[in-house]
Amino acid sequence: PVKVSKICCIGAGYVGGPTCAVVALRCPHIQVTIVDLNQARIDAWNSPDFNLPIYEPGLVEVVKQARGRNLFFSTNVDKAILEADLIFVSVNTPTKKSGVGAGFAADLNYVESATRRIAAIATSNKIVVEKSTVPCRTAESMRTILEANSKPGTRFDILSNPEFLAEGTAIADLFKPDRVLIGSLQTQEGRDACQSLAEVYANWVPRERILTVGLWSSELSKLAANAMLAQRISSVNALSAICEATGANIDEVAHAVGFDSRIGPKFLRASVGFGGSCFQKDILNLVYLSESLHLPQVAAYWRQVVEMNEYQKSRFSKTVVDTLFNTITGKHIAVLGFAFKADTGDTRESAAISLIRDFLSERAYVTIYDPKVEEAQIWLDLSEAIPGTPLETIKKYVTIVHSALEACKQKEAIVIATEWKEFKEIDWQTVYNQMSKPAFVFDGRMILKADELQKIGFKVKVIGRGDGQ
Ligand code: NAI
């Protein structure tokens, strides 16, 4: 097997950036260059004051230690390809918006153009690693493209190495992964390439956590893991609807259920719904795959996980309207949190966007506060969520502020959309004093102490809890 000394990572996003920064930190003997076509993103990665393009706890510290030592960020894609012996392809694979499979299939345009670039530039053997989440058998297409365009004497070995990090805990996950999965062709060359990559991870990951499997199993495992994680959330959310109707408490139910060692306690929290760039996209991808394989029952089964999530979001909006005496027109609502989860500035598919869109469709006034999301991002997301409405009109109804206290002032209702820790520590008495009465709180993340808020005087609605609890 080749001993890897130079790595190139194509795509400096939420995955490529943190993943390869940690590779560089843990492997000082390997030169790691992360490249992207997006100049602004690369400039941010290189910024002297470490104003990085993404927020992850612990990321700045990693970049501080490795940048300029053996970690580099560049827009010179060709040079990095030329020099590397191993190339991670970590570009985005969003759901297709038009054409065949629109709304379900993954858009592989970025993967393909990165692959074609590798084929055009490479003059020596390369191990090409699929890091992006892709549909089953994408590695096969990559291999065909590489082989059809390669120069004589240049070998390409393709590996699948999906990334399991979760945003918000990316650095901790990368330091101590549950597992690293590497898929390869089961040929001698395939196994050798697999070993070369395993050696890189073995610098900090225990051997028994590095799993090596076939290419297709590896690709499918990533979709399967995300589908099953999202399914857990949709299951608990489906139960939360029953709790609200019966007076049971989803916290107690989840706690009791999670005690079963076969189920386990983690990832059983009811909420306003899952968001993020991956769960929905990867399930839809699995649905599309199932349909292409003529497995309609399998497709319907997984599609229901996404439908339950949509239902949960709209059910929550409806609770807000119903509770505020069946109309929120002209009312003022504070939305605390805009990111799709705590400890990230990422807003892709955030539940907050759906809620605010619903509130605006009722012509309510919305004031938003999030500790990490940039104002420009919020405007962009809202314009995209409400097509056909000019931003000026949206701005008449929406205000963005810089603290939770400011957001809540003189509002009729507060909606917790993201589980930021600081929302637990708000001075709720002060908030109450400054609100219009009756003052409502809708906890979409189950992070507040409802009984204490009720003592202050708030009317509180919590996901998965019937009235009177
Ligand atoms: P992202 O959109 O943050 O980053 C992708 C980057 O690739 C962008 O900066 C884009 O400019 C760049 N890019 C696209 N085509 C390029 C090309 N031909 N040459 C150079 N650069 C190019 O996406 P993110 O979130 O990092 O996701 C990447 C992949 O990882 C996706 O397939 C995603 O499903 C997967 N993934 C994402 C996770 C997450 O938490 N965000 C977790 C695990 C996997």
ipTM over 0.90: yes
Is 92 among the annotated ligand-binding positions? yes
Query: CA 243, 249, 251, 254: dihedral to nearest 10 degrees?
Result: -50
For ligand 1, the distance from its centroid to the CA atom of residue 167, given in whole angstroms, is 13
Strands (DSSP E) along 149-291, which ranges?
A: 156-160, 180-184, 210-214
Q: How far apart are the first and last CA of the chain?
A: 62
Radius of gyration of the chain (CA): 24
For ligand 1, the distance from its centroid to the CA atom of residue 20, given in whole angstroms, is 13
Per DSSP, helices labelled H in 259-374 are 279-292, 296-323, 351-361
Ligand 1, CB within 6 Å, residue ranges: 10-16, 35-38, 41, 77, 90-93, 110, 113-114, 132-133, 163, 165, 167, 277-278
Is 262 among the annotated ligand-binding positions? no
pLDDT over 60 at 180, yes or no: yes
Question: Nearest CA to 162 among 115, 252, 225, 113?
Answer: 225
| Segment 5-40, tens digit of pLDDT | 999 999 999 999 999 999 999 999 999 999 999 999
pLDDT over 90 at 280, yes or no: yes
For ligand 1, the distance from its centroid to the CA atom of residue 439, given in whole angstroms, is 42
DSSP state of 240: H
Closest Cα to atom 25 of ligand 1: 14
User: Which residue do the tokens 């893991």 mark?
Assistant: 225
Residues 6-205, CATH architecture: 3-Layer(aba) Sandwich (3.40)
For the four alpha carbons of 20, 147, 76 and 44, in that order, the dihedral sign comes to negative
Closest Cα to atom 38 of ligand 1: 15
pTM as predicted:
0.95
For ligand 1, the distance from its centroid to the CA atom of residue 262, given in whole angstroms, is 34
User: Which atom of ligand 1 is the closest one to the Cα of 165?
Assistant: 42
| Segment 384-438, tens digit of pLDDT | 999 999 999 999 999 999 999 999 999 999 999 999 999 999 999 999 999 999 9
d(CA 205, CA 2): 19
Beta strand 180-184 with 156-160 is antiparallel
**What's the pLDDT score for residue 136?**
86
Closest Cα to atom 23 of ligand 1: 92
**What's the pLDDT score for residue 469?**
47
d(CA 385, CA 389): 10
Range 226-240 burial, b when 16+ CB lie within 10 A, else e: bbebbbbbbbbbbbb
Give the residue, out of 8, 9, 14, 116, with the most ligand 1 atoms within 8 A of its beta carbon, to mutate for a pocket test: 14
The domain 279-462: what is its CATH number? 3.40.50.720
Characterise 363 by phi-psi region: left (phi > 0), alpha (psi -120 to 50), beta (else).
left
For the four alpha carbons of 15, 19, 24 and 29, in that order, the dihedral sign comes to negative
pLDDT over 90 at 468, yes or no: no
Is 247 among the annotated ligand-binding positions? no
Is 258 among the annotated ligand-binding positions? no
Q: What is the phi/psi pair of residue 14, to 5°?
A: -60, -30
What amino acid occupies position 364? A
| Segment 224-277, tens digit of pLDDT | 999 999 999 999 999 999 999 999 999 999 999 999 999 999 999 999 999 999
| Segment 119-171, tens digit of pLDDT | 999 999 999 999 999 988 899 999 999 999 988 889 999 999 999 999 999 99
Structure tokens at 216: 């297709």
Question: Nearest CA to 155 among 185, 199, 198, 200?
Answer: 185
Beta strand 126-130 with 459-462 is unpaired
Question: Nearest CA to 276 among 380, 165, 359, 369?
Answer: 165
Our answer to whether residue 9 is catalytic in this structure is no
What amino acid occupies position 96? K
Give the residue, out of 8, 19, 20, 36, with the most ligand 1 atoms within 8 A of its beta carbon, to mutate for a pocket test: 36
Query: Are the CB atoms for 428 and 452 separated by under 8 Å?
Result: yes
Mean pLDDT, the chain, integer: 96
Catalytic residue among 8, 9, 194, 278: 278
User: Which atom of ligand 1 is the closest one to the Cα of 162?
Assistant: 44
pLDDT over 90 at 283, yes or no: yes
**Residue bearing the bigger pLDDT, 201 or 135:** 201
d(CA 398, CA 167): 27
For ligand 1, the distance from its centroid to the CA atom of residue 59, given in whole angstroms, is 17
Closest Cα to atom 30 of ligand 1: 132
Q: What is the phi/psi pair of residue 219, to 5°?
A: -60, -45
Residues found in the chain: 469
d(CA 424, CA 422): 5
Closest Cα to atom 29 of ligand 1: 132
**What's the pLDDT score for residue 188?**
97
Is 16 among the annotated ligand-binding positions? yes
Domain residue extents for the chain: 6-205, 279-462
For ligand 1, the distance from its centroid to the CA atom of residue 154, given in whole angstroms, is 27
For residue 190, give the H/E element and its range. Answer: helix 188-201
User: Which residue do the tokens 């392809």 mark?
Assistant: 89
SS3 127: strand
Closest Cα to atom 28 of ligand 1: 92
